[in-house]
Structure 1
Amino acid sequence: MKNIDTQPVDINGKSFERSGFVLVLLLGTFLTIINQTLLVTALPKIMNDLGISAINAQWLITSFMLISGIMIPTSAFLLNTITNRTLFFVAMVSFSIGTLICALSTTFNILLLGRIIQAIGSGLMIPLMQTLMFLVYPAERRGEAMGLVGIVIAFSPAIAPSVSGWIVDHYTWRYLFYIILPIIGVNLLLAFFYMKNIINLTKPKFDFFSFLLSSLGLGSLLYGIGVAGNVGWQNKISWITCVIGIVIIFLFSRRQFKLTQPFLELGVFKNRTFTLSTIIVAIVFMTMIGSEILLPIYTQSLKGFSALQSGLILLPGALVLGIISPIAGKLFDKFGVKKITMIGMFILALASFPFLMLTKDTATWWIVCLYSLRMLGMGLVMMPLATAGINALSNNLISHGSAINNTVRQVFASLGAAIMVGVMSSTVVKYSNENEDVSSILRGLNNGFMSAFILIVIAFILCFFIKHSVYTKEKS
């Protein structure tokens, strides 16, 4: 326990203040992640202002997820090639330039360009933050560290629709970007003093073909899933691009196992704890993102709530998640991963089941309570499991583990939305054609939540195979 209170050291052996370092990382990541869902409730205003269709407007969100997802695997190579301090500034400056372009944009194309540049910074920032948080804390306090990470990763996208709804109701949508700019400036100033280099560079050889395969494969897969989420799985483009993406990712994977210095070390999947935890967290995360899409459809289509009101219904759950994440981290450090994960999954399953039986008259307070209870369960599951998975890797593999962990989560988040919305849409079409008395939209929503419940049960079963040990390194 002697290491708990010691300060971290940089690559030159000099100790530095952990709190300032962590603040810079978390604030930078918060700003980048909140932009993933910041425009959700603002799209109608943007459509009217710029005179664009709903399909074009959706690309402001889809392109951000797409580019961000492509950049994440590259971060593992960059973290071993460029000092982490330099990479942090590259990510944040890229994000700030994109934000400024968005704020000043007068056409759809300029706004889209700004979103793409923003996404480059975001894709680098998320795995950078996770890797550095692991390395700046000793193993016995990594649960605490990932509890803080959990606040940012899960809390940011959850509160974004509410914040966005309030801003666009009172001001122009451009304030969504104007407000962020000065905060970015403050964070860059803090980084100048507090960001230190803590990773010893190995400077691996850059394999352009691996980079190309990674970008094309992930890009095709995420694009196909995005198309399915927007227009449904019956669209041939979605299936074709998904298949192309999977084939290219397979070719990328084969190449990595042949290289002496892989672009992305896929050997981490030989580690059972890492593999299981990554899969479980990804499944749980996909049900969270999918539910955050279905619930506003329910409250707006069947209860007649505004976008802002719908966002506010999700807000208590987001607050619960923000509160429980650091607590879950400390519980993980004290009791290990097995107990806390099983309790969390039980709560998540218990709170998810009633969503299968929603009616038009279901009380709003009941929905808020159930959703908050779901987020409590997720908070007890996601970060402890993610911590256990990466904790099982040696320090030289943490950057690769973080990149893979975030890439899988990004793909599954897009897939979750596409599956749940797809199930809902196909059900609506079926019962609309049969002229059923029961609301087709309600049936669709119930079936969408049913698909989420099935996924949660699968994740629950997988939790039984997780080992209790937190700190033991497996051979990778």
Structure 2
Amino acid sequence: MNASSAGGSSTAPDLSNIKRGPIIATIIIGAFIAILNETLLGNALPELMKAFEVGPSTIQWLTTAYMLVVGVLVPVTALLQQWYTTRQMFIGAMSLFFVGTVISAIAPEFGVLLVGRIIQAIGTGLMLPVLMNTIMAIFPPEKRGGAMGLIGLVIMAAPAIGPTLSGVIMDSLNWRWLFILVIPLAALSIIFSFMFLKNVSDITKPKVDILSILLSTIGFGGVVYGFSSTGEKGWSNEVVITSIAIGAVALILFIWRQLRLEAPILDLRAFKFPMFTIVTILLFVLMMTLFSTMTLLPMFLQGALLMTAFRSGLLMLPGSIVNGIMAPISGLLFDKFGPRILVTPGLVIVAISLWMFTGIDASASNGHIIFIHILMMLGISLVMMPAQTSGLNQLPRHLYPHGTAILNTLQQVSGAIGTALFISIMTNGTKDYLKTSSDPTSPTEQAHGMVAGIHDAFWIGLIVAIVAIIIGLFVKRTKPPESDQPEGEKGEKQVSMSH
């Protein structure tokens, strides 16, 4: 059911003569800056602990709070995109991000820096679904693969470049420059959006259900916070158990309420479309593996091979570059051949790379690690955007905001769950090894213990990847319902029929 049926009047934009290039350039610049910022602080955390005289349990809130806010906000964006234009949403999001960056740059104490990061996260959380929804609105299905590939380049390359870039900045400047250098880029993105961004979304102004927003916030917030805290507090901690339990109950109530409302804030009827459901499950499984690998590999490089954070970031850079190059290429291949020729081979490549990771140890050469990482990122680039585009393509136009919000929300949740699960497996594997060691305090044995824990985690990752391969066999090309195709596409078809 279209949301407009339960709310205000529907206002659909005319997309027949819209210029796609400037719009795509504007949102990609903004998204790159916001997503890069998620991992830019990674190498600076030890320096920030010294600067503000706080411990690890306090400083980790700079990353935990960021993930938490994004996870809470994304579900609500489906509603906001039906109340505010694309232009209003994007400029508002980037303005918040800009303000948060300025506050962070001048922060005199930790509390102010945390507030700045939270405001940055609000901007990022509002922006991500707008990014994908815009692609779905302005491109017909046969051209979405290439456009989504460009988005994939940003989503995958930006966070991977973050640790390396922050290492370079921290080597020559202080931590404030991590924010100062972002300020002019954010300002430039806002100026571009005022100049070039047009509205591409349908403004239906559905009724706002406050209870749904509260349940969504408690549900997603509780689950993301609970799983994100396991690395610090452990699985048996009361706060972790309580957070996950309250979040799970709130999510069940949220789902129940969305299915009963005529105009839900997150329309779960998107799951009535089988390809969207299959892709959602596939991406949930795949993102668990991806996020956990991006966390485990630096730990292995720094803990077992005793590399600096900057050097470990450099070792992961080639894989990130390959992923960035392949994302738009795989999008174009998707437009031409469909998802099957990309998704299954991509998942097999990911599984092979995880199997190879189960064999690395403290004697592994840099070249060997770089090769495996490149292999994994190549596989992921063949899967991510083609699968995502296939799922979203099947949805009617009025479900685009809901579909993109669902996928973005579950990626945050799966990232938190995957990271917590795999770090827990690695930690337990390390402890089990050291229990059998004759000298568990020696640096050599501790390095061997970490290798044993990493092996356990990657073996579980391999099992998860095999499950993903089975799911991926069901992914196929889809088309949206005729009545909900973009205006531009309808116009093109009518012209071709008249000829």
Confirm whether residue 253 of structure 1 aligns to residue 255 of structure 2. yes
Contact 2:258/2:267 (8 A) holds in 1: yes
The residue matched to 2:474 in structure 1 has which SS? coil
Query: How do 1:61-460 and structure 2 match up within 5 A?
Result: 61-435=63-437, 439-460=448-469
Alpha-carbon contact 1:232-1:418 (below 8 Å) kept: no
**2:477 matched to 1:469?**
yes
Counterpart residue type for residue 393 of structure 2: N
1:15 corresponds to: 17
Q: Deviations over 1:327-380 (max 9, x none)?
A: 000111111111210111111111221111111101110100110010000000
Shift of 1:20: 0.8
- After TM superposition, the runs of 4+ consecutive aligned structure 1 residues lying more than 6 A away are none
Could you give the per-residue CA deviations for residues 300-352 of structure 1, whole angstroms, max 9, x where no partner exists?
11211100000011100100100000000011111111121011111111122
CA contact 2:426–2:450 (8 Å) conserved in 1: yes
Aligned in 2, Cα 1:455/1:405: closer, same or farther, shift over 3 Å? same
Q: How big is the shift at 1:440?
A: 1.4
- How far is 1:474 from its partner? 10
Distance 1:49 1:396, change over 3 A: same
Per-residue deviation, 1:145: 1.1
Structure 2 CA distance for aligned equivalents of residues 230 and 130 of structure 1: 33
Alpha-carbon distance, 1:470 to partner: 2.9
When residues 364 and 122 of structure 1 are mapped into structure 2, their CA distance, relative to the original with a 3 A threshold, is: same
Contact 2:226 2:244 in 1 (8 A): yes
Query: TM-score by structure 2 length?
Result: 0.91
Contact 1:222 1:411 in 2 (8 A): yes
Matched positions, count: 466
Q: Is the 8 A contact 1:134 1:145 kept in 2?
A: no
Q: Does the residue aligned with 1:197 lie in a helix, a strand or coil?
A: coil
Q: Could you say if the C-alpha distance between residues 359 and 15 of structure 1 is closer, same or farther in structure 2, counting changes exceeding 3 Å?
A: same
- Inter-CA distance 84–301: structure 2 relative to 1 (3 Å threshold): same
Q: Given residue 72 of structure 1, which amino acid in structure 2 is its aligned partner?
A: V
Q: Distance in 1 between matches of 2:219 and 2:360?
A: 38
Q: Is this contact kept in 1: 2:81–2:203, CA < 8 A?
A: yes
> Cα–Cα, structure 1 residues 238 and 13, in superposed 2: closer, same or farther, change >3 Å?
closer
Q: In the aligned structure 1, how far is the partner of 2:366 from the partner of 2:483?
A: 50
Q: 1:283 Cα deviation (Å)?
A: 1.6
For residue 402 of structure 2, what is the amino acid of its counterpart?
H
TM-score by length of 1: 0.95
The aligned residue for residue 6 of structure 1 is: none
Q: 1:41 to 1:13 in 2, by over 3 A?
A: closer
Q: How far did residue 436 of structure 1 move?
A: 6.1
Conserved? CA contact 2:218–2:246, under 8 Å: no
Q: Deviations over 1:128-168 (max 9, x none)?
A: 10100111111110001110110111111111011111111
**1:4 alignment counterpart:** none
Alpha-carbon distance between aligned partners in 2 of 1:294 and 1:475, rounded to the nearest angstrom: 46
Q: How many Å apart are 1:475 and its aligned residue?
A: 12
Q: Is the 8 A contact 1:99 1:181 kept in 2?
A: yes
Preserved CA contact (<8 Å) 1:72 1:124: yes
Equivalents in 2 of 1:224, 1:298: separation in Å? 24
Unaligned runs of 5+ residues in structure 2 are 1-11, 440-444, 485-499
**Aligned Cα RMSD in Å?**
1.6
Is the 1:232–1:425 Cα contact (8 Å) retained in structure 2? no
Q: What is the rounded CA distance, in whole Å, between the counterparts of 1:217 and 1:143 in structure 2?
A: 33
Q: Whole-Å Cα distance in 1 between the matches of residues 178 and 339 of structure 2?
A: 38
How many angstroms does 1:200 deviate by?
A: 2.2
Paired letter, 2:107:
S
Q: Displacement of 1:13 after TM fit?
A: 5.7
2 CA distance for matches of 1:11 and 1:475? 16
Q: What is the identity, as a one-letter code, of the residue corresponding to 1:410?
A: Q
Deviation at 1:469, TM superposition (A): 2.4
